């Protein structure tokens, strides 16, 4: 069955029962003009949205519909994680080419529903429209958190240490494999492509870091390590110094780069879409952060550098040579110009 056969409202009715609504605070989900849910005056709401456009953010022949649904929600969940919040409710709007197979979109929603169910997020509705020739997905996600524990990008100060909560570069390697820019063995392929197409947002890790009140600023790595660290530096009006040897790389990426003769740091620094968290914290909190990592059994927390007074980002190599590097990562309009 095609979308020009089932129609907008027929499709909405077909997915209504599939979409999660578990919270007792949800009064009305799909089926009215607005979703309605109760608010708690002791907390602040966090609201984020992302749009994914076919041939810009994803290629239909390089990702399954299920993975695309999963990832489209995951990138928003990662934004909530970056501020230490709890994701609550999502609205899903899709522009669908009229001759798209209905089963493809149902698989897309299955991926969305599975990740929402995992993180106890309610799908409350959205909008479905026809698109001329490209699939367009827009996710709007609402979360909340205690006002005093929400982390922003502007809280870094000189002398703070810079931390990552996991490995970087695997997702970029997956993208390069999909684009046939890197050769691979089939044992590599699944690991890296899954890292790119099915990211796990670190919601619980972000929550633990934020409520500990040990960190000053935090961001998720969507555009690339240098680019996202640059966002913190810009908002906090500081610079940073990071050390190549301390940047965490997976064993799989090290082996792949050795075999295929490329520098994994290029992917780690600028590749993007790792969706680990980067945060800063005062030097006095080093031991407390190490203890937090052990006690809460969260993602490995790795110190990669420090915040400086000097504008810009310095990268120090294994020989101690330090050079300024230009923050670079994915930019929608420069990439498409």
How far apart are alpha carbons 131 and 27 in whole angstroms?
31
Number of residues in the chain: 337
pLDDT at 329: 56
How does pLDDT run across 59-111, given as a tens digit for each residue?
999 999 999 999 999 999 999 999 999 999 999 999 999 999 999 999 999 99
How does pLDDT run across 247-274, given as a tens digit for each residue?
999 999 999 999 999 999 999 999 999 9
pTM of the model: 0.88
How far apart are alpha carbons 218 and 82 in whole angstroms?
6
Whether 337 shows a pLDDT value over 50: the answer reads no
How far apart are alpha carbons 257 and 265 in whole angstroms?
10
In the chain, where the domains are located:
7-149, 153-336
pLDDT at 84: 94
Whether 230 shows a pLDDT value over 90: the answer reads yes
Whether 40 shows a pLDDT value over 80: the answer reads no
How far apart are alpha carbons 249 and 180 in whole angstroms?
21
Tell how strand 86-97 and strand 122-131 pair up.
parallel
Mean pLDDT estimate for the chain: 90
Q: What angle do CA 155, 161, 162 make, to 5 degrees?
A: 80
- Choose the CATH number for 7-149 among 3.40.50.150, 3.30.1330.10, 1.10.20.140, 3.30.1300.30: 3.30.1330.10
Whether 333 shows a pLDDT value over 50: the answer reads no
How does pLDDT run across 161-170, given as a tens digit for each residue?
999 999 999 9
At 139, list the tokens.
Answer: 């996710």
Give just the sign of the alpha carbon dihedral 62, 106, 121, 293: negative
Within the chain, strands assigned E span 26-28, 36-37, 44-53, 86-97, 122-131, 136-145, 161-164, 217-220, 239-243, 277-281, 302-308, 313-316, 322-325
Q: Which residue has the tokens 């990138």?
A: 75
pLDDT band, very low/low/confident/very high, at 32 (cuts 50, 70, 90): low
CATH superfamily, region 153-336 = PurM-like C-terminal domain (3.90.650.10)
pLDDT at 220: 96
pLDDT at 82: 95
What is the share, in percent, of the chain residues with pLDDT greater than 70?
90
Cα dihedral value 257, 259, 260, 265, nearest 10: 10
Which has more confidence, 319 or 33? 319
pLDDT at 203: 96
How does pLDDT run across 144-195, given as a tens digit for each residue?
888 889 999 999 999 999 999 999 999 999 999 999 998 877 667 899 999 9
How does pLDDT run across 280-297, given as a tens digit for each residue?
999 999 999 999 999 988
Averaged pLDDT for residues 305-334: 83
3-class SS at 307? Answer: strand
Phi, psi (rounded to 5 degrees) for 272 = 85, 175
At 152, list the tokens.
Answer: 């922003």
Q: Which of 36-45, 117-126, 217-226, 298-307 has the lowest mean pLDDT?
A: 36-45
């Amino acid at each position: 069955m095609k979308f020009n056969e089932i129609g907008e409202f027929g499709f909405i009715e077909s997915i209504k029962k599939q979409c999660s609504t578990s919270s007792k605070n949800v009064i009305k989900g799909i089926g009215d003009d607005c979703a309605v849910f109760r608010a708690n005056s002791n907390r602040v709401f966090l609201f984020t949205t992302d749009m994914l456009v076919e041939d810009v953010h994803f290629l239909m022949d390089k990702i399954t519909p299920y993975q695309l649904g999963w990832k489209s929600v995951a990138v928003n969940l990662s934004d909530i994680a970056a501020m230490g919040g709890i994701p609550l409710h999502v609205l899903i709007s899709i522009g669908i080419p009229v001759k798209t197979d209905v089963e493809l979109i149902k698989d897309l929603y299955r991926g969305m529903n599975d990740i929402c169910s995992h993180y106890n997020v309610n799908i409350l509705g959205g909008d479905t429209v026809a698109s001329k020739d490209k699939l367009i997905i827009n996710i709007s996600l609402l979360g909340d958190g205690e006002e005093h524990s929400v982390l922003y990008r502007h809280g870094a100060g000189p002398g703070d240490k810079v931390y990552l909560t996991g490995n970087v570069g695997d997702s970029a390697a997956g993208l390069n494999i999909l684009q046939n820019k890197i050769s691979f063995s089939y044992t590599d392929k699944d690991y890296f492509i899954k890292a790119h197409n099915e990211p796990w947002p670190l919601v619980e890790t972000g929550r633990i870091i934020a409520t500990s009140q040990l960190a000053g600023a935090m961001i998720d790595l969507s555009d690339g390590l240098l680019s996202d660290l640059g966002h913190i530096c810009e908002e906090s009006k500081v610079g940073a110094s990071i050390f190549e040897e301390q940047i965490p790389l997976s064993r799989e990426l090290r082996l792949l780069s050795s075999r295929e003769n490329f520098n994994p740091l290029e992917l780690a620094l600028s590749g993007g879409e790792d969706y680990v968290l980067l945060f800063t914290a005062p030097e006095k909190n080093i031991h407390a952060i190490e203890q937090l990592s052990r006690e809460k059994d969260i993602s490995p927390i790795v110190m990669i550098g420090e915040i400086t007074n000097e504008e810009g980002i310095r990268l120090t190599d294994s020989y101690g040579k330090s050079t300024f590097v230009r923050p670079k990562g994915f930019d929608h309009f420069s990439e498409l110009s």
